[in-house]
């Protein structure tokens, strides 16, 4: 069986992933979700574990929590916006939002100090989260540094009692050269996910964890440990959704550490425009061929930008798709349209960032 590495993999074979690791198709629960989001209806969220529980909470206005975390490293790119869109959606549905800044993991896995993590999380990520519309001033929003959350650290220690090194090795591929702090960090992630169910936070409740598929090892370990500690804490096994990664502008996975693949949220409009204009598309080799054969939107990073972030209206999107397939529009026009939409988004973000900075600086 293949192994998923949460610290470095770039998995894109979603079908194989669902087959091998037992992730269920998200479309199976779609009709149970009131007012499903675009990320859901467009298949960007492709997989789930135990989502029925969350759908039931959504339908019947029952309490549930949303939990996610970030390991601050590098700049925030447009692919990261997907998590914010999901948090916003759940926040609007009345869910408590828990957001962990994994500074202990950043230290153990990447050697980033706590101060660097805090600074990077607030200035690069949280400011953008706020500018993108997440309401961090609400009582139901909980932001913390792992290293400063006593409940999380204590819980991580306690649940460690029921995991062996051999299990950790088989899940994560740790070997004799892995430092012990790193071996411990998955337990912190498990505790992050489970702690909203502690008495202090209102006791057991369904929890949804929206993540990329590279985080599934943490989800599986968490669900396993939740079941083992059910008698003691009443933990309900947390649910998860899995979203696709954005293809980078060069055709490989979008990555913070590869500037040519990514549009950063703090890029100038000039730089972002340049990146869009030179992005890899699903266009044909010549104009003549494109007019005859049509383009290939499913292999196009520009079309992906429209689907994931820039076009809200499904009809408009379908229109672009059909025109691309029939060869009626050419990549140059399409890129120009993406630039205009992206410019609107970036101008809006820029206008909100100053206020976002003022709010973010007092959060931790
Ligand atoms: Fe992509 Fe647009 Fe070109 Fe089609 S016409 S391949 S959607 S850039």
pLDDT digits (tens, 9 = 90+) for 282-326: 999 999 999 999 999 999 999 999 999 999 999 999 999 999 999
What pLDDT band is residue 251 in, cutting at 50, 70 and 90?
A: confident
| Ligand 1 centroid distance, CA of 211 (Å) | 28
Which residues make Cβ contacts (< 8 Å) with residue 54, sequence separation at least 6?
A: 64, 206, 208, 239
CA distance 5 to 3: 6
Residue 2's pLDDT is 54
300 lines ligand 1 (CB under 6 A): yes
Residue 5's pLDDT is 54
What pLDDT band is residue 72 in, cutting at 50, 70 and 90?
A: confident
What pLDDT band is residue 57 in, cutting at 50, 70 and 90?
A: very high
* DSSP E strands, 59-113: 65-70, 96-101
The neighbour count for residue 54, using CB atoms within 10 Å, is: 26
Q: Is 341 helix (H, G, I), strand (E, B) or coil?
A: helix
CA distance 192 to 285: 49
| Ligand 1, atom nearest to 294 Cα | 4
Instruction: Report the pLDDT averaged over residues 56-84.
Output: 94
CA distance 166 to 148: 29
213 lines ligand 1 (CB under 6 A): no
| Ligand 1, atom nearest to 325 Cα | 4
- Residue 188: which of 230, 144, 227 has the closest Cα? 144
CA distance 72 to 5: 17
% of the chain at pLDDT higher than 70: 96
Decide if 350 contacts 128 (C-beta within 8 A): no
CA distance 287 to 283: 9
Pocket test for ligand 1, best of 277, 280, 281, 293 (most atoms within 8 A of CB): 281
Cα-Cα-Cα-Cα dihedral of 95, 98, 99, 100, to 10°?
Answer: -160
CA distance 124 to 333: 32
| Ligand 1, atom nearest to 301 Cα | 1
283 lines ligand 1 (CB under 6 A): yes
- Given a cut of 90, whether residue 135 has pLDDT beyond it is yes
φ and ψ of 46, to 5 deg: -105, -20
CA distance 25 to 15: 9
Residue of 236 and 11 predicted with greater confidence: 236
- Residue 27: which of 10, 37, 41 has the closest Cα? 41
The residue nearest atom 5 of ligand 1, judged by CA position, is: 331
Residue 326's pLDDT is 96
334 lines ligand 1 (CB under 6 A): yes
Q: Give the pTM.
A: 0.93
Residue of 191 and 254 predicted with greater confidence: 191
Structure tokens that stand for 323 in this block: 């025109």
- Scanning the structure block, which residue is given the tokens 């009709």? 31
Which residues make Cβ contacts (< 8 Å) with residue 38, sequence separation at least 6?
A: 44, 312, 314
324 lines ligand 1 (CB under 6 A): yes
| Ligand 1, atom nearest to 330 Cα | 5
303 lines ligand 1 (CB under 6 A): yes
- Residue 38: which of 93, 91, 89 has the closest Cα? 89
Mean residue pLDDT of the chain comes to 93
Instruction: Report the pLDDT averaged over residues 116-136.
Output: 95
- Given a cut of 80, whether residue 164 has pLDDT beyond it is yes
- Given a cut of 70, whether residue 11 has pLDDT beyond it is no
Residue 10's pLDDT is 47
How far are the Cα atoms of 87, 106, 150, 256, 291 from residue 309, in angstroms, in the given order? 15, 28, 37, 18, 27
What pLDDT band is residue 16 in, cutting at 50, 70 and 90?
A: confident
| Ligand 1, atom nearest to 335 Cα | 8
| Ligand 1, atom nearest to 324 Cα | 4
Residue 255's pLDDT is 86
| Ligand 1 centroid distance, CA of 292 (Å) | 14
| Ligand 1 centroid distance, CA of 336 (Å) | 11
* DSSP E strands, the chain: 24-25, 45-49, 65-70, 96-101, 141-145, 207-211, 239-243
**Lowest-pLDDT choice from 142-151, 249-258, 266-275:** 249-258
Residue 21's pLDDT is 80
Residue 9's pLDDT is 45
Helices (H) and strands (E) in the chain, counts: 17, 7
Instruction: For 195-234, write each residue's pLDDT tens digit.
Output: 999 999 999 999 999 999 889 999 999 999 999 999 999 9
Ordered strands of the 207-211 beta sheet: 24-25, 45-49, 239-243, 207-211, 65-70, 96-101, 141-145
């Amino acid at each position: 069986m293949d192994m998923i590495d949460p610290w470095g993999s770039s998995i894109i074979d979603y079908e194989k992933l669902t087959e091998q690791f037992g992730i269920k198709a998200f479309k199976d629960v779609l009709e149970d979700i009131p007012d499903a989001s675009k990320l859901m209806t467009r298949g960007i969220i492709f997989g789930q574990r135990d989502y029925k529980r969350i759908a039931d909470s959504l339908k019947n206005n029952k309490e549930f929590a949303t939990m996610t975390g970030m390991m601050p490293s590098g700049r925030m790119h447009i692919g990261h916006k997907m998590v914010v869109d999901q948090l916003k959606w759940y926040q609007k549905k009345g869910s408590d939002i828990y957001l962990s800044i994994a500074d202990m993991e950043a230290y153990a896995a990447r050697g980033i100090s706590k101060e660097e993590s805090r600074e990077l999380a607030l200035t690069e990520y949280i400011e953008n989260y706020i500018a993108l519309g997440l309401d961090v001033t609400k009582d139901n929003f909980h932001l913390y540094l792992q290293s400063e959350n006593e409940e999380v650290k204590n819980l991580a220690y306690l649940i460690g009692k029921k995991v062996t090194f051999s299990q950790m090795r088989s899940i994560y591929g740790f070997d004799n050269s892995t430092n012990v702090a790193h071996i411990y960090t998955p337990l912190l992630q498990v505790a992050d996910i489970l702690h909203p169910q502690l008495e202090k936070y209102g006791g057991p409740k369904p929890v949804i964890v929206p993540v990329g598929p590279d985080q599934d090892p943490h989800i599986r370990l968490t669900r396993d440990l939740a079941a083992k500690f059910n008698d003691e804490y009443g933990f309900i096994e947390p649910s998860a959704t899995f979203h696709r990664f954005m293809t980078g502008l060069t055709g490989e996975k979008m990555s913070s550490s590869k500037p040519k693949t990514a549009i950063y949220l703090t890029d100038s409009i000039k730089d972002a425009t340049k990146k869009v204009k030179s992005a890899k598309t699903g266009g044909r080799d010549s104009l003549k061929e494109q007019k005859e054969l049509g383009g290939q939107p499913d292999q196009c990073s520009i079309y992906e930008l429209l689907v994931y972030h820039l076009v809200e209206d499904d009809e408009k999107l379908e229109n672009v798709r059909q025109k691309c397939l029939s060869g009626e529009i050419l990549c140059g026009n399409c890129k120009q349209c993406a630039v205009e939409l992206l410019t609107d988004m970036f101008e809006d973000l820029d206008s909100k960032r100053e206020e976002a900075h003022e709010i973010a600086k007092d959060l931790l």
